[in-house]
Amino acid sequence: MEDKSAAESLISRFQIERLLNQDQSDRRIALLGHIDGKQGILIAERAAFATDSLEVLRAFHSSDNDIYKWYMANASSPVNGDYGSSPPDLKLNLIWPCTAQHIRKYSAQPVRMVTETPQIYREYIRPYMQQKREEGRLNWIFNILEGRTEQDDVLLRDKGDSPDEDGFLMLPDLNWDRKTISSLHLLVLVERRDIWSLRDLKRRHIPWLKYLRQRLIDATVKTYEGRIEEDQLKMYVHYQPTYYHFHVHVVNVMLEAGQTQAVGKAFGLENIIGQLEAIAGDDEAGMADVSLSYFLGEASELWSTVYEPLKKGEKL
């Protein structure tokens, strides 16, 4: 109850500053605000979001990991003072305290398609990844991997043949309501820390990737037995990812394909395996040796510090 009260108090203390973004179907909005003088981002999702319901948000279930918190909530008024009498119709994600990078990520902005050559990756993107990892932004992932937070949510923890290299765990994604199978979205975090993104994948990783793929399919079908089948699942990784620790998304193929699943953001796991098999060279040849095209928001650091100057012919 103390945790519940503390979680609810954060939502009630959230002071809205401005709307960052709203999707075209009005199912998801991102709001910038502050709690106790520290900026935060509140993301709310529902089937048909009513903006006049902001005053009656009330959380009754929550999870907390570092700066990331999520809630299930009601947007309707209580019945005789009892919020528990009606099912939750909102999923709230709170990032607090948030960083300038979070604000850029969730703000509405024009996007650009860029092509990252092996040279650009080596000279500019890899050092950028190193910098972000050293800033401590992976603490929430390590909290989960090392058993400090969200352990009740872990659906599968597989140590594999070699815990240092093959282990992984699977849990519900922050954006899934955990009950609607048609919008199933699971997140897979690998134990190994030498793979930051798909750029680190090499031909020698093909057996591991195939093992990982099959274990994820088997575990998902078993966990939701009778509700989903193998050919109703798809798996992908993001590039550029939000955080530089290799992870895989497992979703229902019926999940509405928003920007996170769009071409230029999501790379299918099966396609990555196939591309690695087709790459010429020895076992050390891999995804760092090919050019990749993807989109970036104009507010992103990579656009403003790397690709825009390159486009203008400026020296970085």
What is the identity of the amino acid at 300?
S
Q: Can you give the pTM of this predicted structure?
A: 0.75
Closest by CA position to 294, among listed 24, 111, 98, 26: 111
* Res. 50 pLDDT band, cuts 50 70 90: very low
Predicted confidence (pLDDT) at residue 16 exceeds the cutoff of 90: yes
Preceding peptide of 118 cis, ω within 30°: no
Structure tokens at 284: 């050390």
CATH topology for 2-98 is: Phosphorylase Kinase; domain 1 (3.30.200)
* Res. 4 pLDDT band, cuts 50 70 90: low
For the chain, the three-class secondary structure string (H helix, E strand, C coil) is CHHHHHHHHHHHHCEEEEEEEECCCCCEEEEEEEECCEEEEEEEECCCCCHHHHHHCEEEEEEEECCEEEEEEECCCCECCEHHHCCCCEEEEEECCCCHHHHHHHCCCCEEEEEECHHHHHHHHHHHHHHHHHCCCCHHHHHHHCCCCCHHHCCEEECCCCHHHHCEEEEECCCCCCCCHHHCEEEEEECCCCCCCHHHCEHHHHHHHHHHHHHHHHHHHHHCCCCCCHHHEEEEEECCCCCCCCEEEEEECCCCCCHHHCCCCEEEHHHHHHHHHHCCCCCCCEHHHCCEEEEEECCCHHHHHHHHHHHCCCCC
Does the 109-311 domain belong in CATH 3.30.70.1450?
Answer: no
Return the higher-pLDDT residue of 301 and 1. 301
**Cα dist. 303→20, 118, 155, 257, 283 in Å?**
19, 17, 37, 24, 32
Q: What is the mean pLDDT of the chain?
A: 84
Return the higher-pLDDT residue of 312 and 316. 312
Q: What are phi and psi of 155, to 5 degrees?
A: -90, -30
Task: Name the catalytic one among 205, 238, 247, 249.
Answer: 247
Residue 247 among the catalytic residues: yes
Structure tokens at 78: 């209580």
Structure tokens at 16: 């809205």
- Summarised one tens digit per residue, pLDDT across range 225-278 is 999 999 999 999 999 998 899 999 999 999 876 667 777 889 999 999 999 999
If one counts every other C-beta atom within 10 angstroms of the C-beta of residue 158, the result is: 18
Question: What pLDDT score does 90 carry?
Answer: 76
Beta strand 111-116 with 90-95 is unpaired
In angstroms, rounded to a whole number, what is the distance separating the alpha carbons of residues 136 and 138? 5
**Domain range annotation of the chain:** 2-98, 109-311
- Judge residue 252's burial from the number of C-beta atoms within 10 Å of its C-beta, 0-12 exposed, 13-18 middle, 19 or more buried: buried
- Summarised one tens digit per residue, pLDDT across range 58-116 is 444 556 556 778 777 776 655 555 555 566 677 788 989 888 888 888 888 899 999 99
The tally of CA atoms less than 13 A away on the side-chain side of residue 311 is 13
Beta strand 90-95 with 68-74 is antiparallel
